[in-house]
Structure 1
Amino acid sequence: MIINKKLNSGIRMVLEEIPYVQSVAIGIWVKTGAVDEDEKYAGISHFIEHMMFKGTTNRSAKKIAEDIDRIGGQINAFTGKEATCYYVKAIDSNYKEAADVLIDMLTQSLLDKEEMTKERQVICEEIKMTQDAPDDLAHDTITAMIFKGNDLGKSIIGTPTSLKRITRSVMSNYFAKEYTRDNIVISVSGNFDVDEICEYFDDKFMELLPSKEEKNPAFAPYAPSYKSITKEIEQSHICLATKGIPLGDDRYYAFSILNNIMGGSMSSRFFQNIREEKGLAYSVYSMNGAFSGDGYYNIYAGVSHDKIKDAICGIREELALLDEKGISAEELDSSRAQLKAAYVFGQENVAGRMFKNGKNTILTGKISTPEEVVKGFDDVTMDDIENMKRLICDFSSYSAVVVSKKHIELKRIMKGAL
């Protein structure tokens, strides 16, 4: 059973007891990310996430790691477009020791200038690593293109130039404004006592400001665009994307089933056509990238440099076939079974449940029970899929990016495939 609690501090907790396990996963979710940043200081949310591990008034960076290792725990963090999460997993009897490290990081961080200088360079190396990974570069670029002019189009990691502008004062001010008690959700899954853990966390973040100032998000209408990126690589990487659906949308289950049919598994249409029948790609798939207020549908393929046009035309063929003939009852049933099984498998992972509960609570304010999720997939009909296919079948609505060893006339290829 999932329990929602609001502490006296104003912080929300989402708790899922799993009494048959011997571990606890704790995630402290902060509703801040790239969407909240001034373009001038792009990457500051991610920079802060790194700095939380660089020392507090009570612990050095090494001591943070040692205190978690001493209890056999695991600690990490990540920054997204809309939220940042700090998490730890430990044996249930050690949850307080593990949680204490997270609390110390978020309330007593030094934000030391010398450590900032070193970590700034570390992140610059991370930027280079992304630039050197052409598939990551393609995905990052297509996301920026789909949401151009919108806050979701902002970079999570920033640029070397924007990172240089982030001083300790800038970082401290941003932290104070974003890391507020009403902007935090603590997600806990595993073996624990609800009353005990709520009492433990009740007064732990009183150092933070009570509330975050609301702001108006940037918005710009979507229009398809095309980009060719040249790099010295051995394989070309293609992303085609169009607008999708947001988190919490009632059409989520139908869209998930349709995405899975098109590019979510080895039996999917894109995989069977592009890889198995045409032999054009080793990796080909599709995905639904969903955010709290928007989303996008992305198709990826990694192909030989001389097969870019063939792969794009193959993708177009499958979208046209979907538009003309729809899907079969067998495909619907198979995809439904796959997704239900994947959900059940995920429920067996304590950390996975913590992530799901925390993300859904902080971004949508709603968590579906396992029974509701299974019913959601079971209730999808052929008519639902027919309605969903209209979102992705119009090839003229797709933006495209290709990373290849030479410039590609991508717009011409995309228009020619129509």
Structure 2
Amino acid sequence: MYIQKKINDVNVVAYKMPYVNSVYIGIWIKVGSRYENKENNGISHFIEHMVFKGSKNRSAKDIAEEIDNIGGQLNGFTGKESTCFYVKVYNSYIEKAVDVLFDMVFNPLFKSEDIEKEKNVVLEEINMNNDSPEDVAYDMLANLTWKGNPLSYPVLGYEDTVKSFDRDTIVKFYRENYFKDNIVISIAGNFDDSIFDIISRKTLYINSCNNAISLDKPDWNKGIVLKSKEYEQVNICISMPGINYSFDSIYTLSIVSNAFGGGMSSRLFQKIREEEGLVYSIYSYPSTYIDTGAFTIFASTAPENLKSVYELIIEEILKVKNDGFSEFEVNKFREQLKISILMDMDSISSRMSSIGKSLLFLKKVYTVNDIVDKIDSITYDDVNNLAKKIFNIEQLGISVVGDINEKQIGWMKIE
């Protein structure tokens, strides 16, 4: 059963799952790399790290030990448009979990000496990202296709921006974004209504200022970018303009992606890996944001096979553009999506994440029945009309990373 309410002007959504023994509690903030600028890129992710470093009531060690002592799990993550902190505990320890979680998120110390230490940790994370050709290809692609807009910025930031952070910059950005209207609290698992009284006490002192930020919708930029580096394989990302995050179209988009490159029975996997044996990894995925999106295909292959892989991908894109998916494919992947979502909803973490993200971005929580009904209502024409709208080879953004040079990809052209 869903419960949705405002507590001290903070949006709260909860889902009771009495057949489990644990509970997930998440704090979602509408802030990420898209809300940054060139000078402070990476600060949302850095703040995510810093709240674990100590609060007004607890040291970093206290935070870790108090959750470890009750067998809980405490973590956080940052994306382009949101940051989330969450804790999972046995339901006997809800009050302790809420106390620790809210204390660290809303009472951080941001000590200058801790900031300097954490810079080294984040710089190591950036270095690790730079050692991953897949991550490098993604970041290069975003920088190309969303160029000139904060959506192009990497979540981790750059070495020079991270090194520039000081306490005043961090505190200012934190205060401008961690306020009541920008927050959603999501709860899933086995709990009783006393949890709302606990949350009521903890939300009284959250910053109430309203600093609503208007985002500029990015323009799409096509083109090709290359990074020559000694990797065993060449990694390629091919992207086309997609659609924004909305309840009306997100599930139709999922069917398109799953049918095209979402799994082992998809067109890309069957054609390029199974039939041709040219890749180990190939898949497609949609990226959806508040006001825009992208549809991306990733593949890794030997340098000598890159041209063949690229041409086969373009061939499959054109097949969908011209002929669409078959009725059999649409029915198959519609049912696959529905079953996948129903199974995901057995997971407490998936449920917490789903309802939190929905309320944060859509201002509404959709029930499982709403979602199932929406998927069942998707028609053959809905899927193919959306696919044909997205699959546009005249707007390709392409990133290539590997032991290859510009001359070797001279055949790759964007009209």
Question: Is the TM value for this pair above 0.5?
Answer: yes
Aligned-pair distance for 1:409?
Answer: 5.0
Measured after TM superposition, the shift of residue 272 of structure 1 is: 0.8
Residue 412 of structure 1: how far off its partner (Å): 4.3
Indicate if the aligned counterparts of 1:33 and 1:156 stay in contact, CA closer than 8 A: yes
Q: Does residue 151 of the first structure (1) align with residue 132 of the second (2)?
A: no
Matches within 5 A, 1:6-405: 6-7=6-7, 9-194=8-193, 196-405=194-403
Counterpart Cα distance in 2 of 1:410 and 1:205:
58
Query: How far did residue 203 of structure 1 move?
Result: 3.0
Contact conserved, 1:226 with 1:410, CA < 8 A, in 2?
A: no
1:30-83 deviations in Å (ceiling 9; x for gaps): 111111112201111111110001112222111111111111100100011111
Does the Cα contact within 8 Å between 1:12 and 1:184 map onto a contact in 2? Answer: yes
Paired residue type of 1:129: M
- For 1:144-172, what per-residue CA distance to the aligned partner results, in whole angstroms no more than 9, with x for missing partners? 32222223222211111111221001111
Aligned length: 415
Q: Identify if the C-alpha distance between structure 1 residues 220 and 373 changes in structure 2 by more than 3 Å, giving closer, same or farther.
A: closer
Distance 2:106 2:385 in 1: 48
* Deviations 1:384-410 (CA, angstroms, capped at 9, x unpaired): 122112233221211000101122358
Q: Distance in 2 between matches of 1:392 and 1:407?
A: 30
8 Å contact from structure 1 (residues 226, 411) kept in 2: no
Report the TM-score, using the length of structure 1 for normalisation: 0.96
Q: For each residue in 1:253-293, what CA deviation from the matched residue of structure 2 results, as whole angstroms up to 9, or x when unmatched?
A: 22211111100110100001111111111010000111122
Q: Which amino acid in structure 2 is aligned with residue 2 of structure 1?
A: Y
Tell me: CA distance 1:411–1:248, structure 2 relative to 1, closer, same or farther (3 Å).
farther
Deviation at 1:96, TM superposition (A): 1.1
Query: d(CA) in 1 for partners of 2:347 and 2:256?
Result: 25
Residue 298 of structure 1 aligns to which amino acid in structure 2?
T
Identity of aligned residues (%): 38
Residue 63 of structure 1 aligns with an amino acid whose one-letter code is D
Q: Distance in 1 between matches of 2:354 and 2:409?
A: 38
Q: CA deviation at 1:366?
A: 2.1
Work out whether residues 340 and 377 of structure 1, in 8 Å CA contact, stay in contact via their aligned partners in 2.
yes
Q: Deviations over 1:130-189 (max 9, x none)?
A: 000001111222123222222322221111111122100111111111111111110000
Unaligned runs of 5+ in 1: none
Q: Whole-Å Cα distance in 1 between the matches of residues 216 and 320 of structure 2? A: 34
- Which residue of 1 is the match for residue 4 of structure 2? 4
Task: Letter of the 2:23 partner, please give it.
Answer: V
Change (3 A) 1:411 1:387: farther
1:302-323 deviations in whole A, cap 9, x for unaligned? 1101111111101011111112
CA distance change for structure 1 residues 60 and 410 in 2, over 3 Å: closer, same or farther?
farther
Letter in 2 for 1:64: I
Could you tell me whether the CA contact under 8 Å between 1:247 and 1:291 is conserved in 2?
A: yes
Cα gap change, 1:232 to 1:65, in 2 (>3 Å): same
Comparing 389-398 with 277-286, which one deviates more in the overlay? 389-398
- Whether contact under 8 Å (2:99, 2:202) holds in the other structure is no
Greater alpha carbon shift after TM alignment, 81-90 vs 29-38: 29-38
